[in-house]
Every structure is written in structure tokens, then in C-alpha cells.
């Protein structure tokens, strides 16, 4: 059974539809890239998947072996975070907090999990460094480690390479692909069409009405792709 199945979804704010007729599913081990023009509802779709906002109509179903709280989310960076006094360890640990039973303090298994994921993201040596002193790429790795503390199954990333230089961007994409190969399901919102084609197994192209959903190979043959890349989405 699929992790997430969306049927005839309409999205928007305050009853205003931004994007409609969205149909897709995400299975275990998939790497789905959500592409589309600015304002087409990519981020809105992501927030709807996370139930941060409610869909206007249609349904989102989660499979039996995944629940909403087992999704690790990597949001876009906010202004507040740029000069936030917090150590890497504090931020990664905060990923272990989840809904359900209320525990005021971190347990030793929470701390182990945080250490393990810092090691996995190769940021263990930055453990006591301040987040605001890190480079953009390092900051993304910290937030990724935090997201990994929240999930072992699925990652949702919102334009994760915004503001990173090309070399760091390429490294970051490789890192995500590596996690995907280790069995993690990935959903990524991206405006980088080339990277989406290179790394994703599936593409969802949203617009006022959904343009395409299917495997990446098929997307390359679709007229949605030809039209979109002709607009300058690709170099």
C-alpha cells in the first residue's frame, strides 16, 4: 500500500483555489519531486500534506505503516533562525520531540538518536558550535539531522537548496539521494528542474490544474515538460 495517496485535491488559502485536480501517490522508497512555476502551489501542497493547512476539497490518505508524525520535515529557513543563538546539538535534539505522551525532558535514547543522526550528516564535530556561525550548507545539514530524528521513513523538503552555492547544492542533492537509497522515502519541492530530473524517481508537475504525475522517464516525453523547460526552467 502507498504511504500517501491524494485524490482530486484542491488547495488554496481562505477558500481561494490555487491549484486543483491533484492526484498522485507516494510509495515506500520513492523520490518524488514537486515542480511547477512560482505561485503554482508547490509549497501549499507540501503544507497541506503535513496538515499545516487544510485542503479545500479532495482527500489525503496515509498508508497503514506511516502516520503524520513519522514524517521528517525540512522547512524553508526563516529570518528568525539566521541569528538564533542555539547550538547544533540543541537543534538536532529538538527533532526527537513528538506528539503523544508528554515528556518534559529528553531521554537518553533521544540523545543517542541525535548523536547518530549528527554522525550520519557528518556534523558531529560541529555539535557545540552555534547555528548562526555555520555556513548555509552546514545549516541545512543540521536541519536535515533534526528531520531525521523525527522520522525513519519519510522526508519532506521545501526548496532545500535555496541560497546555497552550486558545489554545496550538488553535495546536498547527493546526500538526499544517499538517504533515499538507504530506504528513506523523499518528497521534495524544487524549482531546479534539472536536478529533479537527475535525482527523482517520480515527478509531480503542479499548476492551476495538475500537469503531470508519473515516473521521471515518462515526464521527459510529456508535453508538460516540453512546455515548462521551454519557458526557461532548464538551462
Contact call for residue 109 and another protein (CB under 8 A): no
Please identify, among the stretches 56-64, 87-95, 177-185, 196-204, the one whose residues bind another protein according to the rule CB under 8 A: 87-95
Looking at beta carbons only, is 47 or 202 nearer to another protein? 47
Q: How crowded is the C-beta side of 9, counted as CA atoms within 13 Å?
A: 28
Contact call for residue 104 and another protein (CB under 8 A): yes
Nearest to 145 by CA among 120, 127, 128: 120
Please identify, among the stretches 1-9, 24-32, 104-112, 195-203, the one whose residues bind another protein according to the rule CB under 8 A: 104-112
CB of 6 within 8 A of CB of 24?
A: yes
Rounded CA separation 208/11 (Å): 10
Q: Interaction with another protein in 3-42: which residues (CB under 8 A)?
A: none
CB of 79 within 8 A of CB of 122?
A: no
| Binding test (CB under 8 A) with another protein, winner from 1, 17, 97, 220 | 97
Contact call for residue 148 and another protein (CB under 8 A): no
Looking at beta carbons only, is 85 or 232 nearer to another protein? 85
| Binding test (CB under 8 A) with another protein, winner from 66, 91, 126, 155 | 91
Rounded CA separation 22/8 (Å): 5
Distances (CA, A) of 7 to 101, 144, 169: 32, 29, 33
Contact call for residue 146 and another protein (CB under 8 A): yes
| Binding test (CB under 8 A) with another protein, winner from 23, 57, 107, 133 | 133
Rounded CA separation 176/186 (Å): 8
Place of cell 508535453: 223
Residues in contact with another protein by the rule CB under 8 A? 50, 52, 68-69, 71, 73, 75, 78, 80-81, 84-87, 90-91, 93-95, 97-100, 104-106, 128-130, 132-133, 143, 146-147, 150, 156
Amino acid at each position: 500500500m502507498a504511504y500517501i495517496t491524494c485524490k482530486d485535491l484542491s488547495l488554496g488559502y481562505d477558500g481561494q483555489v490555487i491549484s486543483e485536480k491533484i492526484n498522485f501517490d507516494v510509495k515506500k522508497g520513492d523520490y518524488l519531486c514537486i515542480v511547477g512555476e512560482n505561485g503554482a502551489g508547490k509549497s501549499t501542497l507540501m503544507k497541506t500534506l503535513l496538515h499545516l493547512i487544510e485542503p479545500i476539497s479532495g482527500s489525503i490518505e496515509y498508508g497503514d505503516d506511516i502516520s503524520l508524525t513519522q514524517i521528517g520535515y525540512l522547512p524553508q529557513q526563516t529570518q528568525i533562525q539566521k541569528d538564533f543563538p542555539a547550538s547544533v546539538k540543541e537543534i538536532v535534539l529538538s527533532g526527537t520531540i513528538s506528539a503523544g505522551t508528554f515528556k518534559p525532558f529528553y531521554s537518553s535514547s533521544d540523545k543517542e538518536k541525535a548523536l547518530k543522526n549528527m554522525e550520519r550528516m557528518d556534523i558531529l564535530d560541529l555539535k557545540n558550535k552555534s547555528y548562526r556561525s555555520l555556513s548555509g550548507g552546514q545549516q541545512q545539514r543540521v536541519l536535515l539531522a533534526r528531520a531525521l530524528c523525527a522520522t525513519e521513513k519519510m522526508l519532506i523538503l521545501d526548496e532545500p537548496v535555496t541560497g546555497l552555492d552550486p558545489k554545496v547544492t550538488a553535495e546536498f542533492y547527493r546526500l538526499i539521494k544517499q538517504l533515499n537509497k538507504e530506504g528513506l522515502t523523499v518528497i521534495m519541492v524544487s524549482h531546479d528542474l534539472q536536478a529533479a530530473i537527475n535525482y527523482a524517481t517520480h515527478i509531480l508537475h503542479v499548476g492551476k490544474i495538475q500537469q503531470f504525475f508519473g515516473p521521471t522517464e515518462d515526464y521527459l516525453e510529456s508535453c508538460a515538460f516540453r512546455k515548462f523547460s521551454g519557458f526557461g526552467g532548464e538551462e
